[in-house]
Amino acid sequence: MDLASLQHGIIISCQAIPGNPFYNTGTMPLMARAAEAGGAVGIRANGPEDITAIKRGTGLPVIGIYKTEPSPDHVYITPTFEHARAIAAAGCDIIALDATLRPRPDGAEMPALIARIRGELGLPVMADISTFEEGVRAAEAGCEIVATTLAGYTAYSSATLGPDFALLAKLAAALDVPIIAEGRFWSPEDVNQGFAAGAFAVVIGKAATNPMAITRHFVENLLPLAPSNEQLAVTESVNPDSVDIDTKSIPEILAIMNRNDRQAPLAVGQVLPEIARAVEIIVHALQHGGRLFYIGAGTSGRLAIADAAECPPTFGVAPELVQALIAGGQDAVFQAREGCEDKERMGVVELKRRKFSARDVLVGISASGRAPYVVGALRYAQSLHAPTVAVINNPRGRMAEFADVLIAPIVGPEVIMGSTRLKAGTAAKTVLNMLSTASLIKLGRVSGNMMSNMRITCDKLRDRALNMVMLSAGLERDAAQALLDETHYDVAAALQRAKMP
Protein backbone atom coordinates (compact mmCIF):
# COMPACT_ATOMS: atom_id res chain seq x y z
CA MET A 1 0.00 0.00 0.00
CA ASP A 2 0.97 3.65 -0.36
CA LEU A 3 1.85 4.86 3.14
CA ALA A 4 1.42 8.46 1.97
CA SER A 5 -2.36 7.98 2.25
CA LEU A 6 -1.95 7.93 6.05
CA GLN A 7 0.17 11.06 6.35
CA HIS A 8 -1.19 13.82 8.63
CA GLY A 9 -4.31 11.77 9.23
CA ILE A 10 -6.27 10.16 12.04
CA ILE A 11 -6.27 6.37 12.37
CA ILE A 12 -9.02 4.89 14.54
CA SER A 13 -8.37 1.78 16.61
CA CYS A 14 -11.56 -0.30 16.32
CA GLN A 15 -11.18 -2.77 19.16
CA ALA A 16 -13.19 -3.84 22.18
CA ILE A 17 -12.33 -6.09 25.09
CA PRO A 18 -14.53 -8.72 26.77
CA GLY A 19 -17.16 -7.05 28.92
CA ASN A 20 -17.57 -4.15 26.52
CA PRO A 21 -20.97 -4.11 24.75
CA PHE A 22 -19.11 -3.59 21.46
CA TYR A 23 -17.22 -6.87 21.91
CA ASN A 24 -18.58 -8.76 18.90
CA THR A 25 -17.57 -9.10 15.28
CA GLY A 26 -20.66 -7.32 13.99
CA THR A 27 -19.90 -4.06 15.83
CA MET A 28 -16.34 -3.45 14.66
CA PRO A 29 -17.20 -2.92 10.97
CA LEU A 30 -19.88 -0.42 12.03
CA MET A 31 -17.30 1.44 14.13
CA ALA A 32 -14.92 1.47 11.15
CA ARG A 33 -17.61 2.76 8.78
CA ALA A 34 -18.48 5.51 11.25
CA ALA A 35 -14.81 6.43 11.57
CA GLU A 36 -14.49 6.56 7.78
CA ALA A 37 -17.53 8.84 7.59
CA GLY A 38 -15.94 11.09 10.20
CA GLY A 39 -12.71 11.52 8.22
CA ALA A 40 -10.35 8.77 9.41
CA VAL A 41 -7.59 7.70 7.00
CA GLY A 42 -7.08 4.20 8.40
CA ILE A 43 -8.24 1.59 10.91
CA ARG A 44 -6.31 -0.48 13.44
CA ALA A 45 -8.09 -3.78 14.13
CA ASN A 46 -7.50 -6.98 16.08
CA GLY A 47 -7.88 -10.53 14.84
CA PRO A 48 -8.74 -12.17 11.51
CA GLU A 49 -12.54 -12.01 11.91
CA ASP A 50 -12.69 -8.30 12.62
CA ILE A 51 -10.14 -7.48 9.93
CA THR A 52 -12.07 -9.43 7.28
CA ALA A 53 -15.35 -7.77 8.26
CA ILE A 54 -13.84 -4.27 8.32
CA LYS A 55 -12.16 -4.71 4.94
CA ARG A 56 -15.48 -5.85 3.51
CA GLY A 57 -17.32 -2.80 4.86
CA THR A 58 -14.88 0.09 4.29
CA GLY A 59 -12.36 1.31 1.77
CA LEU A 60 -9.81 2.27 4.41
CA PRO A 61 -6.42 0.57 4.85
CA VAL A 62 -6.26 -1.65 7.93
CA ILE A 63 -3.36 -2.01 10.33
CA GLY A 64 -3.80 -5.54 11.59
CA ILE A 65 -2.79 -6.97 14.96
CA TYR A 66 -3.42 -10.32 16.60
CA LYS A 67 -3.59 -10.10 20.38
CA THR A 68 -3.00 -13.15 22.54
CA GLU A 69 -3.30 -13.49 26.33
CA PRO A 70 -2.10 -10.17 27.83
CA SER A 71 1.07 -10.32 29.91
CA PRO A 72 3.57 -7.68 31.06
CA ASP A 73 6.38 -10.21 30.73
CA HIS A 74 6.17 -11.33 27.11
CA VAL A 75 5.04 -10.18 23.69
CA TYR A 76 1.32 -10.61 23.02
CA ILE A 77 0.65 -8.31 20.05
CA THR A 78 1.18 -10.42 16.90
CA PRO A 79 3.73 -12.57 18.77
CA THR A 80 4.57 -15.14 16.05
CA PHE A 81 4.78 -15.50 12.30
CA GLU A 82 1.69 -17.72 12.33
CA HIS A 83 -0.32 -14.91 13.90
CA ALA A 84 1.03 -12.51 11.27
CA ARG A 85 0.09 -14.95 8.48
CA ALA A 86 -3.45 -15.25 9.84
CA ILE A 87 -4.15 -11.52 9.77
CA ALA A 88 -2.42 -11.17 6.39
CA ALA A 89 -4.80 -13.80 5.01
CA ALA A 90 -7.69 -11.82 6.53
CA GLY A 91 -6.73 -8.87 4.32
CA CYS A 92 -4.85 -6.38 6.48
CA ASP A 93 -2.65 -3.85 4.67
CA ILE A 94 -0.03 -3.40 7.39
CA ILE A 95 1.04 -5.86 10.09
CA ALA A 96 1.67 -4.34 13.51
CA LEU A 97 3.68 -6.31 16.03
CA ASP A 98 5.16 -5.83 19.46
CA ALA A 99 8.81 -4.84 18.91
CA THR A 100 9.74 -4.41 22.57
CA LEU A 101 12.63 -6.20 24.25
CA ARG A 102 10.27 -8.71 25.86
CA PRO A 103 10.69 -12.32 24.64
CA ARG A 104 8.43 -13.85 22.00
CA PRO A 105 6.65 -17.06 23.01
CA ASP A 106 8.29 -19.08 20.23
CA GLY A 107 11.74 -17.65 20.93
CA ALA A 108 11.94 -15.91 17.54
CA GLU A 109 14.07 -12.78 17.23
CA MET A 110 12.28 -9.64 16.12
CA PRO A 111 14.60 -8.84 13.15
CA ALA A 112 14.12 -12.34 11.75
CA LEU A 113 10.35 -12.08 12.17
CA ILE A 114 10.24 -8.75 10.33
CA ALA A 115 12.35 -10.15 7.49
CA ARG A 116 10.09 -13.20 7.18
CA ILE A 117 6.89 -11.13 7.17
CA ARG A 118 8.24 -8.86 4.47
CA GLY A 119 9.66 -11.75 2.45
CA GLU A 120 6.84 -14.27 2.66
CA LEU A 121 3.76 -12.12 3.23
CA GLY A 122 4.86 -9.05 1.29
CA LEU A 123 3.34 -6.57 3.75
CA PRO A 124 4.87 -3.55 5.49
CA VAL A 125 5.54 -3.91 9.21
CA MET A 126 4.68 -1.41 11.94
CA ALA A 127 6.78 -1.85 15.08
CA ASP A 128 4.96 -1.06 18.34
CA ILE A 129 7.70 0.08 20.74
CA SER A 130 8.01 1.52 24.25
CA THR A 131 11.45 3.19 24.24
CA PHE A 132 13.74 5.12 21.91
CA GLU A 133 16.25 2.27 21.79
CA GLU A 134 13.53 -0.15 20.70
CA GLY A 135 12.50 2.24 17.93
CA VAL A 136 16.06 2.45 16.62
CA ARG A 137 16.40 -1.33 16.81
CA ALA A 138 13.13 -1.85 14.90
CA ALA A 139 14.08 0.62 12.17
CA GLU A 140 17.46 -1.06 11.78
CA ALA A 141 15.66 -4.42 11.51
CA GLY A 142 13.79 -3.15 8.46
CA CYS A 143 10.29 -2.19 9.67
CA GLU A 144 8.56 0.44 7.54
CA ILE A 145 6.86 2.24 10.44
CA VAL A 146 7.65 2.81 14.12
CA ALA A 147 4.77 3.51 16.53
CA THR A 148 4.84 4.72 20.15
CA THR A 149 1.96 2.37 21.03
CA LEU A 150 3.60 0.71 24.04
CA ALA A 151 5.33 3.71 25.63
CA GLY A 152 4.61 3.45 29.33
CA TYR A 153 3.16 -0.05 29.03
CA THR A 154 6.34 -2.02 29.61
CA ALA A 155 7.91 -2.34 33.04
CA TYR A 156 11.04 -0.49 31.92
CA SER A 157 9.49 2.42 29.96
CA SER A 158 8.51 5.74 31.48
CA ALA A 159 4.77 6.33 31.85
CA THR A 160 3.38 9.80 31.12
CA LEU A 161 -0.04 11.19 31.97
CA GLY A 162 -0.70 11.98 28.32
CA PRO A 163 1.02 11.05 25.05
CA ASP A 164 4.80 10.62 25.25
CA PHE A 165 5.65 13.64 23.09
CA ALA A 166 9.31 13.58 24.12
CA LEU A 167 9.76 10.02 22.84
CA LEU A 168 7.85 10.91 19.69
CA ALA A 169 10.03 13.96 19.02
CA LYS A 170 13.25 12.05 19.65
CA LEU A 171 12.22 9.24 17.27
CA ALA A 172 11.12 11.70 14.58
CA ALA A 173 14.47 13.50 14.81
CA ALA A 174 16.56 10.33 14.69
CA LEU A 175 14.80 7.95 12.28
CA ASP A 176 14.03 8.12 8.58
CA VAL A 177 10.93 5.88 8.76
CA PRO A 178 7.46 7.34 9.48
CA ILE A 179 6.65 7.63 13.19
CA ILE A 180 3.03 6.95 14.12
CA ALA A 181 1.92 8.39 17.45
CA GLU A 182 -0.31 6.20 19.58
CA GLY A 183 -1.17 6.07 23.25
CA ARG A 184 -3.25 8.35 25.49
CA PHE A 185 -4.42 10.80 22.81
CA TRP A 186 -7.62 12.32 24.14
CA SER A 187 -8.01 15.74 22.55
CA PRO A 188 -7.41 17.66 19.33
CA GLU A 189 -4.73 19.58 21.24
CA ASP A 190 -2.92 16.29 21.90
CA VAL A 191 -3.13 15.41 18.21
CA ASN A 192 -1.87 18.82 17.08
CA GLN A 193 1.02 18.58 19.51
CA GLY A 194 1.77 15.09 18.18
CA PHE A 195 2.04 16.36 14.62
CA ALA A 196 4.14 19.30 15.78
CA ALA A 197 6.50 16.79 17.41
CA GLY A 198 6.95 14.95 14.12
CA ALA A 199 4.19 12.33 13.95
CA PHE A 200 3.43 10.93 10.50
CA ALA A 201 -0.08 9.95 11.63
CA VAL A 202 -1.91 9.61 14.95
CA VAL A 203 -3.88 6.64 16.23
CA ILE A 204 -6.90 7.38 18.45
CA GLY A 205 -7.92 4.44 20.62
CA LYS A 206 -10.10 4.61 23.72
CA ALA A 207 -11.16 8.19 23.00
CA ALA A 208 -13.12 6.96 19.98
CA THR A 209 -16.08 5.40 21.81
CA ASN A 210 -18.42 7.30 19.50
CA PRO A 211 -16.28 7.02 16.37
CA MET A 212 -18.05 9.24 13.86
CA ALA A 213 -18.64 12.24 16.14
CA ILE A 214 -15.29 12.07 17.91
CA THR A 215 -13.26 11.39 14.75
CA ARG A 216 -14.90 14.35 13.01
CA HIS A 217 -14.05 16.49 16.05
CA PHE A 218 -10.35 15.52 15.78
CA VAL A 219 -10.20 15.95 11.99
CA GLU A 220 -11.85 19.38 12.02
CA ASN A 221 -9.47 20.67 14.69
CA LEU A 222 -6.20 19.67 13.00
CA LEU A 223 -3.64 22.39 12.41
CA PRO A 224 -2.58 22.92 8.80
CA LEU A 225 0.35 20.75 7.79
CA ALA A 226 3.58 22.72 7.93
CA PRO A 227 5.57 23.07 4.69
CA SER A 228 7.66 20.05 3.81
CA ASN A 229 10.92 21.99 4.13
CA GLU A 230 12.51 20.32 7.16
CA GLN A 231 14.36 23.52 8.00
CA LEU A 232 11.06 25.25 8.81
CA ALA A 233 10.53 25.34 12.57
CA VAL A 234 7.19 24.52 14.17
CA THR A 235 7.15 28.04 15.60
CA GLU A 236 7.36 29.50 12.07
CA SER A 237 4.09 27.95 10.91
CA VAL A 238 0.65 29.57 10.98
CA ASN A 239 -1.45 29.45 14.15
CA PRO A 240 -5.11 29.08 13.08
CA ASP A 241 -6.21 30.36 16.49
CA SER A 242 -4.85 33.83 15.72
CA VAL A 243 -5.04 34.28 11.95
CA ASP A 244 -7.43 37.21 12.36
CA ILE A 245 -6.06 38.57 15.63
CA ASP A 246 -5.59 41.99 14.04
CA THR A 247 -9.38 42.34 13.79
CA LYS A 248 -10.05 41.43 17.42
CA SER A 249 -10.86 43.64 20.39
CA ILE A 250 -8.33 44.02 23.20
CA PRO A 251 -10.12 41.51 25.48
CA GLU A 252 -10.30 39.02 22.58
CA ILE A 253 -6.57 39.45 21.81
CA LEU A 254 -5.70 38.84 25.45
CA ALA A 255 -7.95 35.76 25.59
CA ILE A 256 -6.24 34.29 22.50
CA MET A 257 -2.81 34.91 24.00
CA ASN A 258 -3.80 33.47 27.37
CA ARG A 259 -5.28 30.37 25.73
CA ASN A 260 -2.06 29.78 23.81
CA ASP A 261 0.22 30.55 26.76
CA ARG A 262 -1.36 27.64 28.65
CA GLN A 263 0.29 25.27 26.20
CA ALA A 264 3.77 26.16 27.50
CA PRO A 265 3.56 24.55 30.98
CA LEU A 266 1.68 21.57 29.54
CA ALA A 267 4.43 21.03 26.97
CA VAL A 268 7.14 21.31 29.63
CA GLY A 269 5.27 18.76 31.73
CA GLN A 270 5.64 16.25 28.90
CA VAL A 271 9.46 16.48 28.94
CA LEU A 272 10.10 16.23 32.69
CA PRO A 273 12.01 12.91 32.32
CA GLU A 274 14.46 14.59 29.92
CA ILE A 275 14.81 17.61 32.23
CA ALA A 276 15.53 15.22 35.12
CA ARG A 277 18.30 13.53 33.13
CA ALA A 278 19.82 16.92 32.33
CA VAL A 279 19.72 17.92 36.01
CA GLU A 280 21.51 14.70 36.98
CA ILE A 281 24.25 15.49 34.44
CA ILE A 282 24.59 19.09 35.67
CA VAL A 283 24.75 18.07 39.34
CA HIS A 284 27.45 15.50 38.61
CA ALA A 285 29.51 18.05 36.69
CA LEU A 286 29.21 20.77 39.33
CA GLN A 287 30.11 18.29 42.08
CA HIS A 288 33.32 17.48 40.20
CA GLY A 289 34.58 20.98 39.54
CA GLY A 290 32.68 21.69 36.34
CA ARG A 291 30.58 24.69 35.35
CA LEU A 292 27.18 25.14 33.73
CA PHE A 293 27.14 27.13 30.48
CA TYR A 294 24.03 28.35 28.66
CA ILE A 295 24.31 29.53 25.06
CA GLY A 296 21.64 31.04 22.84
CA ALA A 297 20.78 33.74 20.33
CA GLY A 298 18.15 36.47 20.53
CA THR A 299 15.35 35.73 22.98
CA SER A 300 16.91 32.40 23.95
CA GLY A 301 20.20 34.08 24.86
CA ARG A 302 18.46 36.78 26.90
CA LEU A 303 16.49 34.18 28.83
CA ALA A 304 19.74 32.31 29.51
CA ILE A 305 21.41 35.47 30.80
CA ALA A 306 18.46 36.20 33.08
CA ASP A 307 18.61 32.73 34.61
CA ALA A 308 22.40 32.67 35.03
CA ALA A 309 22.46 36.19 36.53
CA GLU A 310 20.03 35.18 39.27
CA CYS A 311 22.05 32.18 40.48
CA PRO A 312 24.69 34.08 42.55
CA PRO A 313 22.23 36.23 44.54
CA THR A 314 19.69 33.41 44.96
CA PHE A 315 22.00 30.53 45.81
CA GLY A 316 25.19 32.28 46.90
CA VAL A 317 27.33 30.66 44.21
CA ALA A 318 30.25 32.22 42.36
CA PRO A 319 29.31 34.08 39.15
CA GLU A 320 31.58 31.73 37.20
CA LEU A 321 29.58 28.62 38.18
CA VAL A 322 26.61 29.36 35.90
CA GLN A 323 27.45 31.40 32.80
CA ALA A 324 25.44 32.50 29.79
CA LEU A 325 26.61 33.38 26.28
CA ILE A 326 24.54 35.24 23.70
CA ALA A 327 25.22 35.69 20.00
CA GLY A 328 26.42 39.25 19.49
CA GLY A 329 27.73 39.66 23.03
CA GLN A 330 26.60 42.21 25.59
CA ASP A 331 25.19 44.61 23.00
CA ALA A 332 22.67 41.95 21.92
CA VAL A 333 21.17 41.82 25.41
CA PHE A 334 19.60 45.25 25.02
CA GLN A 335 19.09 45.48 21.26
CA ALA A 336 18.30 42.70 18.78
CA ARG A 337 21.24 41.76 16.55
CA GLU A 338 19.65 39.00 14.49
CA GLY A 339 22.52 38.38 12.06
CA CYS A 340 24.92 37.35 14.82
CA GLU A 341 23.34 33.93 15.27
CA ASP A 342 24.43 32.91 11.75
CA LYS A 343 28.12 32.86 12.73
CA GLU A 344 28.72 29.26 13.76
CA ARG A 345 32.38 29.75 14.65
CA MET A 346 31.63 32.53 17.15
CA GLY A 347 30.01 30.13 19.59
CA VAL A 348 33.22 28.13 19.58
CA VAL A 349 35.32 31.28 20.03
CA GLU A 350 33.30 32.29 23.09
CA LEU A 351 33.63 28.85 24.69
CA LYS A 352 37.38 28.79 24.11
CA ARG A 353 37.68 32.28 25.60
CA ARG A 354 36.09 30.97 28.79
CA LYS A 355 38.24 27.84 28.76
CA PHE A 356 35.28 25.50 28.40
CA SER A 357 36.40 21.91 29.05
CA ALA A 358 35.15 18.34 29.25
CA ARG A 359 34.29 18.88 32.92
CA ASP A 360 31.71 21.54 32.03
CA VAL A 361 28.12 21.19 30.76
CA LEU A 362 26.76 23.11 27.77
CA VAL A 363 23.03 23.83 27.44
CA GLY A 364 22.10 25.20 24.02
CA ILE A 365 18.80 27.08 23.72
CA SER A 366 17.06 27.86 20.42
CA ALA A 367 13.36 27.82 19.59
CA SER A 368 14.06 26.71 16.01
CA GLY A 369 16.78 24.30 17.09
CA ARG A 370 19.01 25.42 14.27
CA ALA A 371 20.82 28.65 15.27
CA PRO A 372 24.35 28.19 13.79
CA TYR A 373 25.96 30.04 16.72
CA VAL A 374 24.52 27.44 19.10
CA VAL A 375 25.01 24.47 16.77
CA GLY A 376 28.72 25.27 16.45
CA ALA A 377 29.12 25.51 20.22
CA LEU A 378 27.35 22.18 20.83
CA ARG A 379 29.43 20.47 18.17
CA TYR A 380 32.62 21.83 19.76
CA ALA A 381 31.52 20.73 23.25
CA GLN A 382 30.85 17.21 21.98
CA SER A 383 34.29 17.12 20.36
CA LEU A 384 35.71 17.66 23.87
CA HIS A 385 33.44 14.88 25.21
CA ALA A 386 31.66 17.41 27.42
CA PRO A 387 27.98 16.67 28.18
CA THR A 388 25.52 18.65 26.06
CA VAL A 389 21.82 19.51 26.40
CA ALA A 390 19.56 21.07 23.77
CA VAL A 391 16.45 23.05 24.73
CA ILE A 392 14.44 23.54 21.55
CA ASN A 393 10.84 23.80 20.34
CA ASN A 394 11.39 22.21 16.96
CA PRO A 395 12.52 18.58 17.37
CA ARG A 396 13.84 18.43 13.81
CA GLY A 397 16.33 21.21 14.40
CA ARG A 398 20.04 20.45 13.89
CA MET A 399 20.84 20.94 17.56
CA ALA A 400 19.27 17.56 18.31
CA GLU A 401 22.21 15.92 16.51
CA PHE A 402 24.70 17.32 19.01
CA ALA A 403 22.80 16.85 22.27
CA ASP A 404 23.22 14.08 24.80
CA VAL A 405 19.86 15.12 26.22
CA LEU A 406 17.14 16.61 24.00
CA ILE A 407 14.52 18.73 25.82
CA ALA A 408 11.86 19.62 23.28
CA PRO A 409 8.64 21.11 24.71
CA ILE A 410 6.40 21.38 21.64
CA VAL A 411 4.21 24.46 22.07
CA GLY A 412 3.05 24.77 18.46
CA PRO A 413 2.87 27.90 16.30
CA GLU A 414 3.06 31.29 17.98
CA VAL A 415 0.16 33.74 18.19
CA ILE A 416 2.32 36.09 16.10
CA MET A 417 4.00 33.80 13.57
CA GLY A 418 7.67 33.30 14.44
CA SER A 419 7.64 35.50 17.55
CA THR A 420 9.31 32.99 19.84
CA ARG A 421 9.52 35.48 22.71
CA LEU A 422 5.94 34.29 23.38
CA LYS A 423 5.04 30.73 24.42
CA ALA A 424 8.27 29.19 23.10
CA GLY A 425 10.17 31.66 25.28
CA THR A 426 7.89 30.91 28.23
CA ALA A 427 8.57 27.19 27.87
CA ALA A 428 12.34 27.76 27.55
CA LYS A 429 12.45 29.98 30.64
CA THR A 430 10.51 27.36 32.59
CA VAL A 431 13.00 24.68 31.58
CA LEU A 432 15.99 26.87 32.54
CA ASN A 433 14.34 27.62 35.89
CA MET A 434 14.13 23.89 36.51
CA LEU A 435 17.68 23.10 35.39
CA SER A 436 19.38 25.67 37.60
CA THR A 437 17.04 25.48 40.59
CA ALA A 438 16.86 21.69 40.86
CA SER A 439 20.62 21.37 40.35
CA LEU A 440 21.50 23.88 43.06
CA ILE A 441 18.94 22.42 45.45
CA LYS A 442 20.68 19.05 45.06
CA LEU A 443 24.00 20.79 45.74
CA GLY A 444 22.70 21.94 49.13
CA ARG A 445 22.21 25.61 48.31
CA VAL A 446 18.66 25.63 49.75
CA SER A 447 17.42 24.77 53.26
CA GLY A 448 13.87 23.48 53.13
CA ASN A 449 12.45 25.88 50.59
CA MET A 450 14.47 28.83 51.91
CA MET A 451 17.23 30.70 50.06
CA SER A 452 19.62 30.05 52.93
CA ASN A 453 22.71 30.91 50.86
CA MET A 454 21.42 34.09 49.24
CA ARG A 455 23.64 37.15 49.17
CA ILE A 456 22.34 40.04 51.27
CA THR A 457 22.75 43.18 49.17
CA CYS A 458 19.80 45.42 50.12
CA ASP A 459 17.23 46.17 52.82
CA LYS A 460 14.64 43.93 51.18
CA LEU A 461 16.98 40.94 51.42
CA ARG A 462 17.92 41.78 55.00
CA ASP A 463 14.23 41.65 55.89
CA ARG A 464 13.88 38.38 53.99
CA ALA A 465 16.84 36.89 55.85
CA LEU A 466 15.34 37.90 59.18
CA ASN A 467 12.00 36.28 58.31
CA MET A 468 13.75 33.10 57.13
CA VAL A 469 15.66 32.70 60.40
CA MET A 470 12.55 33.44 62.45
CA LEU A 471 10.46 30.88 60.52
CA SER A 472 13.11 28.16 60.15
CA ALA A 473 14.50 28.37 63.68
CA GLY A 474 11.27 29.28 65.45
CA LEU A 475 12.84 32.38 67.01
CA GLU A 476 11.45 35.73 68.05
CA ARG A 477 12.52 38.73 66.00
CA ASP A 478 15.20 39.98 68.43
CA ALA A 479 16.81 36.54 68.79
CA ALA A 480 16.85 36.03 65.03
CA GLN A 481 18.35 39.49 64.53
CA ALA A 482 21.07 38.71 67.07
CA LEU A 483 22.02 35.52 65.21
CA LEU A 484 22.25 37.35 61.90
CA ASP A 485 24.39 40.07 63.45
CA GLU A 486 26.74 37.46 64.91
CA THR A 487 27.10 35.68 61.56
CA HIS A 488 27.33 38.91 59.52
CA TYR A 489 24.05 38.02 57.79
CA ASP A 490 25.20 34.57 56.70
CA VAL A 491 21.76 32.92 56.76
CA ALA A 492 23.06 29.35 56.47
CA ALA A 493 25.47 29.92 59.37
CA ALA A 494 22.72 31.56 61.43
CA LEU A 495 20.40 28.60 60.87
CA GLN A 496 23.20 26.17 61.77
CA ARG A 497 23.98 28.09 64.95
CA ALA A 498 20.28 28.09 65.88
CA LYS A 499 20.33 24.28 65.86
CA MET A 500 23.27 24.13 68.28
CA PRO A 501 22.41 23.29 71.91
Rg value, the chain, Cα: 27
Residues whose CB falls within 8 Å of the CB of residue 433, separated by 6 or more in sequence, listed in order: 307
Predicted confidence at residue 313, as pLDDT, reads 87
CB atoms within 10 A of CB 292: 26
Q: Cα separation of 418 and 362, whole Å?
A: 25
At residue 229, the pLDDT reads: 39
- Select from 349, 420, 354, 357 the least CA-distant residue to 391: 420
- Asked if 286 contacts 296 with a C-beta cutoff of 8 angstroms, the reply is no
Instruction: Give the tens place of pLDDT for each residue, 185-228.
Output: 988 888 999 999 999 999 998 877 545 545 655 665 555 444 44
Task: Say what the pLDDT of residue 215 is.
Answer: 62
For residues 162 and 193, give the distance between their C-alpha atoms in angstroms, rounded to a whole number. 11
Instruction: Please identify every residue annotated as catalytic.
Output: 310, 341
DSSP-derived 3-state class of residue 65: strand
pLDDT below 70 — which residues of the chain? Answer: 18-20, 23-25, 71-72, 209-235, 331-332, 334-342, 500-501
Q: At what angle do helices 211-220 and 27-38 cross, to 10 degrees?
A: 30
Q: Which pLDDT does position 186 carry in this prediction? A: 83
Beta strands 125-128 and 405-407 are unpaired
Per-residue confidence (pLDDT) for residue 213, from 0 to 100: 46
User: What is the reported pTM?
Assistant: 0.55
